[in-house]
Amino acid sequence: MLNQNVQDAINRQINMEFQSSYKYLGMASFCALQNFPGCAAWLLLQSQEENHHAMRLRQFMLDRDCAVELQPIKEASVDFESIPHVFEKSLEQEKAVSASINDLYELAHENKAFAALVELQWFITEQVEEEKTVRDIVAKMNMVKDDPSALIDLDRELGDRKPEEDGE
């Protein structure tokens, strides 16, 4: 069993992952209403991935015979300035999740929660990939600026995203 400080921190991370999923769902809804189905589809897949991350941590807690404490999820925004703004907010979200995972990893290390360290290593690697992916999208959004045809092409490109093989 993990010590209580590590359990509490993992429960907070579970909440953050669910909150992130909810935020992505709000972003997807905004994009759908703006008639950007590719962006909406990309963000919906991202929401599903974040939900999977929460469920992965939930299962880790259960496997370690620890209580899972589901916390309230805050309201997610469905109102953004623009499609590029959505992805800027997405990058902010990914950076916040990365920082939280890093803090959790440090706490697990300090508390010699070695099983948690192994599990969290996967999350660290995943966050590097997720930040890079969203940073690349933001860079493309900045390149197309207000060019409607380029934004439509980018929307189409984002709509080609496929779910990960293992559901992550």
Q: Tell me if 105 is assigned to some domain.
A: yes
Q: Tell me if 118 is assigned to some domain.
A: yes
Q: Tell me if 165 is assigned to some domain.
A: no
Q: How many domains does the chain have?
A: 1
Predicted pLDDT at 146? 79
Contact (Cβ atoms closer than 8 angstroms) between residue 92 and residue 44: no
- Containing 113, the helix (H) or strand (E) segment is none
Predicted pLDDT at 166? 54
pTM, two decimals, is 0.93
Burial class (CB in 10 A: 0-12, 13-18, 19+), 143: exposed
Distance CA 153, CA 60 (A): 40
Predicted pLDDT at 167? 46
What is the domain-level CATH number for residue 35? 1.20.1260.10
Distance CA 132, CA 74 (A): 26
Total H helices, total E strands in the chain: 5, 0
Q: Tell me if 65 is assigned to some domain.
A: yes
Distance CA 129, CA 127 (A): 5
- How crowded is residue 81: how many other Cβ atoms within 10 Å of its Cβ? 9
Q: Tell me if 132 is assigned to some domain.
A: yes
Segments forming the whole domain that contains residue 109 = 4-71+80-159
Average pLDDT, 10 consecutive residues per value, the chain (168 residues): 95 98 98 97 98 98 97 94 96 98 98 97 98 98 90 96 70
Predicted pLDDT at 165? 65
End-to-end CA distance of the chain: 26
Contact (Cβ atoms closer than 8 angstroms) between residue 131 and residue 87: no
Q: Tell me if 166 is assigned to some domain.
A: no
Q: Tell me if 97 is assigned to some domain.
A: yes
Q: Tell me if 50 is assigned to some domain.
A: yes
